[in-house]
Amino acid sequence: MRIWLLAALGLTLAGCNTTQTGSPVASTAPAAAPASATAEALPPIYEPLIDMHRVNPTKYARDLAECRQQAAPQEAAARAARQQQTAGTAVAVGATVASFIPVSSFRQARTLYHATSAAQDVGAASAEAGAISADQATADYALVVNTCLTHKKYRVLR
């Protein structure tokens, strides 16, 4: 019974591990918003450093939005990888917490030990793979945005 209770608690805590940006506002928009609308609500994962000397800010904002649109697949991959990393971390933490469940016999303790150590290994591997994928996808995103801005004759400083 305690295992089910702790599993439910762990899943509840893992579900609470979300990031919300902006202020909660009542919306009259339809429930199924297009992907571009939800992407605009999220903060950018990379902000290029541009030499703004003799640059029209309005034109730059328009060009930057176009370059970010070109890099949308890389951004989606980076965000998905970050979610994988977060989920893997939650699994590893849940397994660590579950390892402290008191049991009455040696057999139960051994079974619990093997189960929690396997879950910790899976969670850690998933988090590590997510972190590596997220770093690669973020670097790809930055490369696409920087290259696009360079082709539009902006001087990228970073």
| Model confidence pLDDT, tens digit, residues 107-153 | 999 999 999 999 999 999 999 999 999 999 999 999 999 999 999 99
CA dihedral sign of residues 133, 127, 37, 139: negative
Lowest mean pLDDT of 47-51, 71-75, 99-103, name the range.
Answer: 99-103
Under the banding of pLDDT at 50, 70 and 90, the label for residue 19 is: low
pLDDT in tens, 51-90: 999 999 999 999 999 999 999 999 999 999 999 999 999 9
What is the predicted pLDDT for the residue at 130? 96
Name the DSSP class of 43: P
Q: Helix, strand, or coil here: 156?
A: strand
Q: What is the pLDDT of residue 2?
A: 64
CB–CB of 128/18 below 8 Å? Answer: no
Question: Amino acid identity of 69?
Answer: Q
Distances in Å between the Cα of 2 and the Cα atoms of 6, 7, 22, 102, 107 are: 6, 8, 38, 9, 17
The angle that helices 72-98 and 57-70 make with each other, rounded to 10 degrees, is 60
CA distance 78 to 45: 8
